[in-house]
Amino acid sequence: MSTPQLSRLNLLSLICAGTLSACAVGPDFKEPEAPKTSSYTETALSKRLTSAPGVPGGGEQEFVEGADIEAQWWELYKSPELDALIKKALEQNPNLGAADAALRAAQENVNVQIGSQYFPAIGVGANALRQKQPSAVYGLNYGADTYNLYNAIVNVIYQLDVFGGARRAVEGSRAQAEVAQFQLEGAYFSLTANVVTSAVKEAALRAQMQATEEILKAQTNLAEVTEKQLAIGTVSKVDVTSQRTLVSSSQVDLFNYERNLAFARNQLAVLVGEIPSNANIARFDLANLHLPEKLPLSVPSSLVRQRPDVRAAEAQLKAQNAFVGVATANLLPQFNITGSIGAAALTSANLFGPNSSLWALGGGILQSLFQGGALLAQRRGAIANYERAAFQYQATVLKAFQEVADALRALETGAQALKSASDAEHYAYEALDLVQQQYKLGTASYLAVLYCQNQYQIAKVKSVSAQVTRFSDIAALFAALGGGWWNREGPAFKPKDIANKDQNETSGKN
């Protein structure tokens, strides 16, 4: 290609670069300020929670204000089975994989926008043509000419981004990619929290089953004693049937626990991305779960930077802000440059000869005068979408602070409830044991035994429920604070085959 042709291409490139540095119409995005508050709750929290020694979930706990959250916060439960289950879920959960694919698609869409908005469209073509034309088309009368025509040409089309519409479009695409990024992080921490709470639920059901089995065994033994006493005439038939009714009722409760336990294990299987029959889920027990002694409590001003849903809402606000700029730029004149460089000759040998070159350079401007108000309506719609995104952002922030406040109060009252429930269970057991001994000696009525049995069963179930609540509320707090995803190393979703490939490549290098 000749030097003049190169100069013209360089000029076109300079023009393109110059337009990219021009101002962009529409509002520049400003990051929303964090809520001005120093506390999550209406009244002050106790830094140290009430403890219930000797009971699962009753250990000492305290809040550590300003402490950061670990990426693998679930490791604080000190359960190898739970760690392995979450690792498996992060490799196989299909919803997490779908969120990861959505992020990659959004990132590629950014590249599409950059390529189509920032750079000229350049195409190259070549053709060979044999044709016959009569001399009359040239104003001659000698007959007709038959000849070959060869040409090769490079076409360039570029729309100047004078008012920044292209830059706003790319800015909006990048913001939408950020939305997908934080939706992936949200799926990550939701998955880990759901696995933890589901594992705790399974442990709770096992504890409730064990408590019910113990109660059922005691009730069955007492039913046998009552039947013997009926035989010697010291109790009535009503006493025997009442005790047998209580036994049957406890058996119904036991069957319900077994059903719910199966449901919980099926849910865990789905969370790890497997069908229930092939999941091989480990068994979880409350006694094997450790209660974290230190609970990190982020400062309120950092919550909006930690919560993926808040960050996604902010990115959506940024995208809608950029689209207002796009709609504004569409109201203004559109400038474009076209150019072509090539060669034409009657023979292929002369196609790139000194006398075969051709070129064209042109520019144009287009200003829309009337489209039925469509462009103005598009801009008004873009502004309305921005306002909607702003309200949605505010709602998401309010929800985030509400969830943290709820989790903190739940932890505080849950610790107190566990202490009271543990005491109630202890006293109810002592009362039942004493009245059963008195009943066997004939110094207490059967109604007293029946009453104490009911009281102990209620107290036992409440105690187990309070233990479960303590472990679940901790997971809820970590989830409400954002889950520590910002401290994680590596991607949120890493399928097992990719992980093994990376490991094998690393081993090969060693």
- Hunting for tokens 């995005």 — which residue is that? 29
Distance CA 425, CA 55 (A): 11
Distance CA 319, CA 471 (A): 39
156 φ/ψ angles, rounded to the nearest 5 degrees:
-130, 130
* pLDDT value at 491 more than 50: yes
Termini Cα distance of the chain: 50
In percent, the amount of the chain with pLDDT more than 70 equals 92
Q: What is the Cα gyration radius of the chain?
A: 37
- Grade residue 9 by pLDDT with cuts at 50, 70 and 90: very low
Q: Is residue 44 part of a domain?
A: no
Q: Are 165 and 246 in contact (CB under 8 A)?
A: no
Mean pLDDT score across all residues of the chain: 86
Expressed as residue numbers, the domain containing 106 is 3-38+55-117+147-491
Q: Is residue 129 part of a domain?
A: no
Q: Is residue 139 part of a domain?
A: no
Long-range contacts of 319-322 (CB under 8 A, 24+ apart): 319/172, 319/173, 319/175, 319/176, 319/179, 319/389, 320/172, 320/382, 320/385, 320/386, 320/388, 320/389, 321/26, 321/27, 321/29, 321/175, 321/386, 322/26, 322/29, 322/168, 322/169, 322/171, 322/172, 322/175
Beta bridge pairs of residue 65: 297
- Grade residue 137 by pLDDT with cuts at 50, 70 and 90: low
Exposed/middle/buried for residue 435 (C-beta within 10 Å: 0-12, 13-18, 19+): buried
**pLDDT-wise least confident of 14-28, 72-86, 415-429, 489-503:** 14-28
Rounded-to-10 torsion of CA 241, 244, 250, 252: -80
Kindly give, in sequence order, each residue whose CB lies less than 8 Å from that of residue 509, ignoring residues fewer than 6 positions away: none
Question: Residues 435, 219, 206, CA angle at the centre, nearest 5°?
Answer: 115
In sign, the C-alpha dihedral spanning 438, 444, 449, 452 is negative
For 99, 127, 187, 306, the CA distances from 494, given in Å and listed in that order, are 12, 49, 13, 22
Q: What is the pLDDT of residue 200?
A: 92
Q: Is residue 346 part of a domain?
A: yes
- 3-class state of residue 24 by DSSP: coil
CA 130 to chain centre: 62
Q: Give the CATH number for residue 318.
A: 1.20.1600.10
**pLDDT-wise least confident of 35-49, 144-158, 168-182, 285-299:** 144-158
Residues 87-92: what's their mean pLDDT? 94
Distance CA 207, CA 229 (A): 33
Q: Is residue 125 part of a domain?
A: no
* pLDDT value at 434 more than 80: yes
240 φ/ψ angles, rounded to the nearest 5 degrees:
-65, -50
Distance CA 74, CA 86 (A): 9
Instruction: Say if pTM beats, i.e. exceeds, 0.85.
Output: no
Tokens of 406: 């709820």
If one counts every other C-beta atom within 10 angstroms of the C-beta of residue 480, the result is 25
Tokens of 447: 């109604």
* pLDDT value at 508 more than 50: no
Q: Is residue 507 part of a domain?
A: no
Q: Is residue 500 part of a domain?
A: no
Tokens of 361: 């350079």
Q: What is the pLDDT of residues 52-76, one digit of tens each?
A: 888 888 888 999 998 999 999 999 9
**pLDDT-wise least confident of 83-97, 137-151, 155-169, 235-249:** 137-151
Q: What is the pLDDT of residue 20?
A: 45
Q: What is the pLDDT of residues 355-391, one digit of tens each?
A: 788 888 888 888 888 888 888 999 999 999 999 999 9
* pLDDT value at 505 more than 70: no
β 357-366/294-297 pair status: unpaired
Beta bridge pairs of residue 362: 338
Q: What is the pLDDT of residue 22?
A: 53
Q: What is the pLDDT of residue 330?
A: 87
Distance CA 398, CA 348 (A): 73
Please give the single-letter amino acid code of residue 436: Q
Q: What is the pLDDT of residues 263-305, one digit of tens each?
A: 999 999 999 999 999 888 999 988 888 989 999 999 999 999 9
In 3-state terms, the chain is what percent helix, strand and coil (to 5)? 65, 10, 25
**pLDDT-wise least confident of 79-88, 162-171, 399-408:** 162-171
**pLDDT-wise least confident of 60-74, 79-93, 127-141, 225-239:** 127-141
Residues 172-198: what's their mean pLDDT? 94
Tokens of 257: 């626990």
Beta bridge pairs of residue 122: 156
Q: What is the pLDDT of residues 304-355, one digit of tens each?
A: 999 999 999 999 999 999 999 999 988 888 888 888 888 887 777 777 777 7
Q: What is the pLDDT of residue 240?
A: 86
Distance CA 314, CA 311 (A): 5
Residues 436-442: what's their mean pLDDT? 85
Residues 397-416: what's their mean pLDDT? 94
What is the DSSP-derived secondary structure letter of residue 274? S
Residues 70-99: what's their mean pLDDT? 94
Q: Are 183 and 102 in contact (CB under 8 A)?
A: yes
* pLDDT value at 7 more than 50: no
Q: What is the pLDDT of residue 90?
A: 94
How many domains does the chain divide into?
1
Q: At what angle do helices 374-441 and 165-232 cross, to 10 degrees?
A: 20
* pLDDT value at 150 more than 50: yes
- Grade residue 497 by pLDDT with cuts at 50, 70 and 90: low
Q: Are 271 and 92 in contact (CB under 8 A)?
A: no
Q: Is residue 263 part of a domain?
A: yes
- Grade residue 11 by pLDDT with cuts at 50, 70 and 90: very low
Distance CA 343, CA 497 (A): 53
In sign, the C-alpha dihedral spanning 427, 433, 439, 443 is negative
* pLDDT value at 504 more than 80: no
Q: Are 282 and 141 in contact (CB under 8 A)?
A: no
- 3-class state of residue 153 by DSSP: strand
Q: What is the pLDDT of residue 47?
A: 87
Q: Are 353 and 55 in contact (CB under 8 A)?
A: no
- Hunting for tokens 């189509």 — which residue is that? 116
Q: Are 482 and 303 in contact (CB under 8 A)?
A: yes
Q: Are 284 and 82 in contact (CB under 8 A)?
A: yes
In percent, the amount of the chain with pLDDT more than 90 equals 45
**pLDDT-wise least confident of 193-207, 264-278, 415-429, 442-456:** 442-456
